[in-house]
Structure formats: structure tokens, C-alpha cells
Amino acid sequence: MKPGIDLETLHRIVGNDTEMLCDIVHDFVPYAQASIAEIRTAVAGSEAEQVKMVSHKLKGSASLMGAHQLVDVCAQLEAAVETNNWPRMNYLLSGLDGLMRDIETSSDAFLRTHEASYV
């Protein structure tokens, strides 16, 4: 499984419109960061339904981006909510920072090589 985002997945969904691809990649990083912050807050506040809802939405967006590892963690968070497994949720949260760094790195690399082509 590729770390970060899998641009082949994104290309299959969006096509080869460079401007649209760049816009989507550019928008995903802050969205994912904000979602992870929401999940952290919800876990800290023992708000199970909020953890589930935000994890589910982030899982869908990450799937479109080809952020397969993030999809997996979000699915595991949803499952942990179903079993009321707060230690598992906290454990899963601890790995999200590394996943976001991978996503940021692959997103930055993509944007550096592609944004100049339509500006």
C-alpha cells in the first residue's frame, strides 16, 4: 500500500484535468487536517457518534484521493466506536500524524510538479 496519496486512484476518478487535480489535492490536506483535529477532540470528549461521523466522512474523501492507509485507519476508528473501544481509538489516533505527513509530502510533490503547468 502506497503511503500518502495514490495519484493513479485520483486520475481514474477525475481524469487528466491538471487544474482540477491540483485543486482537489490542494483542498484535501487542510480538510484532512481539520477532520483529524475533530476526531481528536471527539475522542478526548468521549463523543462516540462524532468520532464515527467524522471518521466516516474522512474515509470517503481519503478513498477518492487514494489515501489508502488513512481509509484503513478511519475504518478501524469506526469499528472501535461500534465496540466502544476507547483505548483502540486513542492508539489509532497516535498514527494519524505520520499518515498526514505522508499525505502532505506526496501532495506537495504533486503540486510542485503540476501547478506550474496551468499557471
pLDDT in tens, 45-88: 999 999 999 999 999 999 999 999 999 999 999 999 999 999 99
Say if residue 119's pLDDT is above 70: no
What whole-number distance in Å separates Cα of residue 81 and Cα of residue 67?
Answer: 21
Please report which confidence band the pLDDT of residue 118 belongs to, taking 50, 70 and 90 as the band edges: low
Continuous H helices in 45-95: 48-65, 68-82, 86-94
Q: What is the mean pLDDT of the chain?
A: 92
How many Cβ atoms from other residues are within 10 Å of residue 47's Cβ?
16
